[in-house]
Structure 1
Amino acid sequence: MAPAAWTGLPLCLCLLLAPGCAQAGKLLVIPMDGSHWFTMRSVVEQLAHRGHEVVVVKPEVSWQLRQSSNYTMKSYSSSYTLEDLNHQFWVFSEAQWKTRVQDVHSLLLSPSNGIFDFFFSHCRSLFNDKKLVKYIEDGAFDAVFLDPFDLCGLIVAKYFSLPSVVFTRGVFCHYLEEGTRCPSPASYVPRGFSALSDTMTFRERVRNHVIQLEEHLICHYFFKTGLEVASEILQTTVTASDLFSQPSIWLIRSDFVFDYPRPVMPNMIFIGGINCHPGKPLSQVSCPSFPLLRITWLGRERKAEIPH
């Protein structure tokens, strides 16, 4: 999968910003911490190597977001400590190990989802840093490269009226289809965590419609903190649809063949499953030669034949 991913990815980015296809640009990156950053960092570094000016904006308290010589890093103060973040993640991970996700209810309405409130709320700290806001405002950025998992990148793009490129494996609920205006007929496309296939019986299709309705009813509560922060920053009532409908390009870290057949839109670009570091060759392991193995095996056979 890795070779296909890296073959498609430069082509996608070439169409966006790569030298030769367009003049080198200035890119503002709003990442997601943790494992999400492992994948995004490889793309950010490639863009920097291709001559683009890249500025990564992050909270001071983070797990994996580190300074690099390949790009500029701008930090803003956090309202929580690393101990708070670690504790919330421990609560979340313990709940995931103990309780298997059965449906969208257990995923989005779990009491252990307090970790997401940390991710959603840190965008308020970003905009409280007036110096950083002024820097972004005067920076003449061409686009925002973001992970939509914590909404802050979407809020920044909307606040500064910048084109946005989304880099994601997927989006909770129905906002990918709604944001891209992509048809998603519930009679044919199974909803996430439904355990249904694309060959559904009539009863399963009815169930799929019910799950889709449930998503529209409860997803707002999952994003409640993030939407409150967005409404406070943008000085107007903001819905999740408002945020997810603005991206120009959706780079989806998956492959079309891994999913059930479903409609896609031209700005939904599948770039392959680059969800980990590139594979390394196996280390050299010394093993006994065949003659030695044969002698050892024959010796065991003869020993077994000796009567006790």
Structure 2
Amino acid sequence: MAPALLPAPLPLCVCLLLASGFAQAGKLLVVPMDGSHWFTMRSVVEKLIQRGHEVVAVMPEVSWQLGQSSNFTVKTYSASYTLEELDQKFKIFADTQWKNQEKNILSVLLGSAIDLFELFFSHCKSLFNNKKLVEYIKESSFDAVFLDPFDVCGLIVAKYFSLPSVVLTRGVACNYVEDGAQCPSPPSYIPRFVSGFSDAMTFTERVQNNIFRLEEHFFCSYLFKKAFEIASDIFQTPTTAYDLFSHTSIWLLRTDFVLDYPRPVMPNMVFIGGINCHRGRLLPKVRCSSTGALRIT
């Protein structure tokens, strides 16, 4: 009997498995965002460290959750605001959300979020004013930047130093994910987050959905105005959202297809929705007795 032939992909798989043992650990630059955004990013960073990767995080001296860690190197830079100012701006923002729950979310955010996020965005200017830190990043030969895009500073760092970027996000307002990834997002079929519509929209709802998208564009031009002004100063040329978001190499989306409506995605978009879930316990063993009753052991 003639020997059975191996499937064509198998030799390639064997080669990859053999070569994986010779893979070298990478050197990763982390540009985190403060607050709850850091919790998920930190869990990913810790897992990367366990796998042998070298991690360096750059962060402002003033923050809520960011701080020193024995697991990875931390490089800090001065901030133009104090912790008291940060707390005050966030309190105004939070109080506004509770008092205006029935109003349009865009009008509410437009009044309360701009001051808070302008304070957030200002720390990136402080980073690039630290010439010693900029020179350190330039000479360290990082393999990639791991970042949260809502802060925008990580996007600026990745583009400035011409480094591949890995973005971790639940989603970005203003359609920046789709625009940056050049991913189709027709408003006639994909409901905007603020609309409350399903993917089975009537003609009237589709018209309203288009209006919501125009409102987002208007809102974002104000919300991210400070960030793009800072980016333009750093690059010494007018910089748009597309200039920054289109530089992204991989999108790690902290969501799942079952939580959102069907929509087009690009090959560099990876769904990792389970990353925020606790590991479940094993199910109990079930035995059937002779009488047909179930017994859990």
- TM-score bracket, normalised by the shorter chain, equals 0.7 to 0.9
Match of 1:303 in 2: none
- The answer to whether the 8 Å contact 1:39/1:277 transfers is no
SS at match of 2:107: helix
Summarize deviations over 1:99-148 as a string: whole Å, max 9, x none: 12754522541234311111111000000111100000000000000001
CA-based RMSD: 1.9
Pick 1 or 2: higher relative contact order, CA cutoff 8 A, min separation 6.
Answer: 1
- The answer to whether the 8 Å contact 2:97/2:108 transfers is no
Match of 1:213 in 2: 214
Query: Is residue 2:81 matched to residue 1:93?
Result: no
Q: Which runs of 5+ in 1 are unaligned?
A: 1-18, 282-308
Match of 2:3 in 1: none
- The answer to whether the 8 Å contact 1:95/1:112 transfers is no
Query: Is residue 2:188 matched to residue 1:187?
Result: yes
| Distance 1:148-1:107 versus aligned 2 partners, 3 A rule | farther
| Distance 1:189-1:238 versus aligned 2 partners, 3 A rule | same
Q: 2:160 is aligned with what amino acid?
A: Y
- 1:216 deviates by 2.5
In 1, the alpha carbon distance for the partners of 2:247 and 2:108 equals: 26
Match of 2:11 in 1: none
List aligned pairs for 1:50-61, cutoff 5 A. Answer: 50-61=51-62
Match of 2:75 in 1: 74
Match of 1:156 in 2: 157
In 2, the alpha carbon distance for the partners of 1:251 and 1:138 equals: 27
- 1:278 deviates by 6.1
In 1, the alpha carbon distance for the partners of 2:31 and 2:281 equals: 29
List aligned pairs for 1:1-308, cutoff 5 A. Answer: 20=21, 22-100=23-101, 102-103=103-104, 105-275=106-276
In 2, the alpha carbon distance for the partners of 1:46 and 1:23 equals: 16
- 1:84 deviates by 0.6
In 2, the alpha carbon distance for the partners of 1:62 and 1:21 equals: 39
| Distance 1:264-1:112 versus aligned 2 partners, 3 A rule | closer
- The answer to whether the 8 Å contact 2:121/2:151 transfers is yes
Q: 2:155 is aligned with what amino acid?
A: L
Normalising by structure 2, we get a TM-score of 0.84
- The answer to whether the 8 Å contact 2:78/2:126 transfers is yes
Summarize deviations over 1:263-285 as a string: whole Å, max 9, x none: 1111111001434776899xxxx
Normalising by structure 1, we get a TM-score of 0.81
Match of 2:10 in 1: none
Q: Percent identity?
A: 67
Q: 1:247 is aligned with what amino acid?
A: T
In 2, the alpha carbon distance for the partners of 1:82 and 1:146 equals: 22
* Count of paired positions: 263
Q: Which runs of 5+ in 2 are unaligned?
A: 1-19, 283-297
- 1:213 deviates by 2.2
In 1, the alpha carbon distance for the partners of 2:84 and 2:263 equals: 43
- The answer to whether the 8 Å contact 2:100/2:108 transfers is no
- The answer to whether the 8 Å contact 2:170/2:255 transfers is yes
- 1:218 deviates by 3.0
| Distance 1:110-1:128 versus aligned 2 partners, 3 A rule | same
Q: 2:139 is aligned with what amino acid?
A: D
